[in-house]
Each structure stands twice: as C-alpha cells, then as structure tokens.
Chain A
C-alpha cells in the first residue's frame, strides 16, 4: 500500500497536473476565506493562496521549478489579460476626454514619484542592485510590472511580491492616508489609489464611490504604460 502511494506521488510530483491543480485549489480556498472574512484587505486572496502553496511545496519538498511546470498554464494568461485591460480603459473614455490634461499630469508625477522614491529609499538603506531593479515598477499592475523588471534585468517574481505588498498596503491604509491629508475629492482619491496601488488599490477605491473606482481603473493602465516607458529609460541613463 505504501509503495503504491509513493509511486503515485512520484508520478504526480513530476507531472504538470499537480502544479496546476494546487494553484486552482489554493485560489478557490483563498477566495472562500476572503468572502467569509467580510472581504477584509488583510485576507488578500493572492497572499493567502501563495501562503498555502508555498507551505504545500515546502512540506512536500517540491521545487518551485517543478511547481511552475504546471502553473505556467495559468501564468501564460497574464499576457492576454494585460491586453484585455484595454477594455476597462476604453470604458473611461468620457472621463478621459473631459479631464485628460490634469489626469495625465497627475499620473506622470505619481508614476515617477512611486518608482523613484522606492528605489531611492531602498538605495539609501543599502538595498542590493537586484532589489533596486525589482522595486522600480512596484506600483504597477503585476503583468506589466513583471514585464518591465524582466526587461531591465531585475527578478520578476521578486517584483510580483513587491507589487502585492504595495497593493495590500495601499488598500489597507490608503483611505486613512487620504483622510489624514484631507483629500476629499472622489476623483483625486481614486486616482491616487490607482496610481500608488494598482488593481488592489482600485478595488478599495470602488468601495469609496463609483467615481473613485473609475479613476482608479483609469490609473492602472496609464501608470503601467508610463512606468514601462520611463523605467527602462532611467535605468539606461544610470548605467
């Protein structure tokens, strides 16, 4: 019996099926927990899924590479999903038409601020080059951020972690920060959350008001685009 089980395990652990299935199971478990927990930002589904999967892989002594053989089928969809962001962006066309100069200026300033201040702080505190390069696009939605990091020679999966932390921090504390600095205008609140904390921040903005949510959604794609153009240029200048 135990030989049977171990031979089954040996088969499964080398098959892509396990990586794919464990990703889907962990995500659904995390979503269930998120709903049960009143959609608390602290129970962020990505964070919870990662904790479950990393725990499972470590407990079974499975390497990340083996897991990724299966999980790459999900990972691949990040590309088409990034393309798909064009549709929600297009839905913001009326807002874009009305206030595009102000929006563009704020996103430009915010995107530069987000990248430069993160790299500067980490550099001042002795962060290594790998970490600095992986931090530059931390305020951008994950598929775009990972693409940028890949281009400039950082560690994409490390960027994914930074982006997640940034999103969760913005979603948890963003409302409080905006209140503290008396930002009451809904457009400004949404835009700030979207620029600083991408999709996770925008989910929070949507809870504030529809206007805030729309401006947050607008910021995701544009912050990504501006960062994708500026970061490789800045890195090129510094080298």
Chain B
C-alpha cells in the first residue's frame, strides 16, 4: 500500500509543479487527479494495491473536510451579516441546478435510448 500512497503524493507533487510551471488555472491536486486518471487509462486497469490505498483514504473522506470547515467560526460574523444572500444563493442555485441538469439528461437519455440500467 505504501508504494501507492507514494504514487498519489507524486501525482499531487507533479500537479503542483505543472500548475506553477505553466501557470494553469487549476488547483495542483486536480491536475494530479488528471495525471493519475490518464495513467489508469493508459494502463487499462487499477492495480489492487492502489485500489486498497484509495479505499483507505476515501472511506473517511468526510473527516478530511472537518479542519477547514471548523474555519466557519472565524467567519460567523460575516455569515450572519450576509445570511440572506448566502442562503438564497445556496438554496436557489442548488434547486435550479438539480432541475436543469436532471431534465436535460433525461431528455438526452431518451433520444439516445441507452440499454436500461
């Protein structure tokens, strides 16, 4: 598993280097994700050890968001001051996105008639 955790870190490192070198408008880890995805496509399968390492990391995905989310305490005042624009933007935009994406995909699926399930 350790070699594959190293692979993940190397992809991230390569991503960070590329972002800075070329000035890409992307976060380094996202470029790392693309690099790993490309590697998997080229290789044609997911090595068992990589699958294990990834499952270990992603099984506690929620945990990783906590330290940053606790940062909300620093912004409590800002959020209270702008509660209306924030709430309306989050609720309204999420509602609209679900409706538009859902209806559009359903219309396209019907046209293509892919095999069920």
Contacts and interface: CB of A to CB of B under 8 A. Distances in A.
A87 B106 contact: no
A144 B98 contact: no
B25 A166 contact: no
A222 B106 CA distance: 19
Contacts of B72: 50, 54, 157-158, 160-161
Given A27-B66, A54-B70, A87-B50, A192 B98 contact: yes
A71 B66 contact: yes
A142 interface: yes
Interface in B59-117: 60-75, 78-79, 82, 84-86, 88-106, 108-110, 112, 114, 117
B111 to A, nearest CB: 8
A49 B92 contact: no
Interface string A158-202: 101110111001100110011001011111110111011101000
Interface residues of A, number: 113
Secondary structure of the A side of the interface? helix
Contact of B97 (A110, A144, A185, A233): A110
Contacts of A54: 70, 72-73
A42 to B, nearest CB: 15
Given A64-B71, A102-B112, A117 B97 contact: yes
Contact of B105 (A106, A119, A157, A221): A106
Contacts of B95: 173, 177
Given A71-B70, A196-B97, A147 B30 contact: yes
Contacts of A195: 97, 101
A225 B29 CA distance: 11
A201 B63 CA distance: 17
B36 A86 contact: yes
A109 B52 CA distance: 34
B20 to A, nearest CB: 12
13 contacts: A49-B63, A49-B69, A81-B61, A84-B8, A84-B53, A90-B46, A117-B89, A125-B84, A131-B85, A144-B27, A144-B29, A158-B78, A196-B98
Interface of B: 5, 8-9, 11-12, 15, 25-30, 32-37, 40-41, 46, 50-51, 53-54, 57-58, 60-75, 78-79, 82, 84-86, 88-106, 108-110, 112, 114, 117
